[in-house]
Amino acid sequence: MIIRVVSDLHPFFHLRHLALPGLLALGIWQSCHCPAPALQETQTVQGIRVTVQDASGESGCRLILHPAQGPDLLPVSFSNEPISFYPEGIYTITYTPDSTAIYACTAPAIPVHIITCTPVQTGPPEGTGGIKPPRRHCAQTSDPYRIPWMTQVMAQLDPDKVTRYQQAATTVYDFESPKGHYLFDCRGDLVCQSAPGETPCEASVQLSEPFVILVRNH
């Protein structure tokens, strides 16, 4: 541990006036403030029990998984068919971190790939009646940087163009990037995606009133 003596301290202040217990306490305090280890990309976490929490109050979010210990988890991909988690339900899952998925949720949670999922309790605890989820905001904008979940998608995709469409009675946004086309609804839910060279996913759904809200030349 390096102690730097500041020049404007009183001239009678010397290092020897620092009591040994104080130095030891300072060293212990510093040693205890280390960042938590990050999950490795290929690390598989098996048999962890999580409670499903409604995260609709966060921009672009729907549900997150809350384990008894450790950070919250955001399910972004699945080994099999996507799982319809019940809010306030309890599940046992096996997962790996997924840093490649494109997602809109801005909650402080780790994006994960769900390998297996076993329901323990599919619903709110008995007698509670459940918690009414907050209403999710539908973004109507001509500036994607004004919407938190759209800003997050922009950072992940670095798109060349963003186009706003109408799909039936709702608004959707197509992010066109070197990674492909990603179509999100106005609440941040991914509607469809297509890889580079494939038919854009917006061709598979009925869209109208195209309006380009962003063009960038990289």
Q: pLDDT by residue (tens digit) across 144-184?
A: 999 999 999 999 999 999 999 998 889 999 999 999 999 99
**Domains contained in the chain, number:** 2
Q: What is the pLDDT of residue 83?
A: 87
Domain assignment present for residue 77? The answer is yes
Query: Mean per-residue pLDDT for 93-102?
Result: 94
Domain assignment present for residue 8? The answer is no
Domain assignment present for residue 9? The answer is no
Residues 148 and 116 in one domain: no
Q: What are the pLDDT digits (tens) for 14-47? A: 434 434 344 333 343 333 333 334 555 568 999 9
Domain assignment present for residue 98? The answer is yes
Q: What is the pLDDT of residue 132?
A: 60
Residues 210 and 156 in one domain: yes
Predicted TM-score (pTM) of this structure? 0.71
Domain assignment present for residue 126? The answer is no
Domain assignment present for residue 196? The answer is yes
63 is in which domain, residue-wise?
A: 45-121
Burial annotation 155-186 (CB, 10 A radius, 16+ → b, else e):
ebbebeebbbbebeeebbbbbbbebbbbbbbb
Residues 111 and 76 in one domain: yes
Q: Give me the CATH number covering residue 57.
A: 2.40.50.500
Q: What is the pLDDT of residue 169?
A: 85
Q: What are the pLDDT digits (tens) for 131-141? A: 566 677 899 99
Residues 137, 117 contacting (CB under 8 angstroms) = no
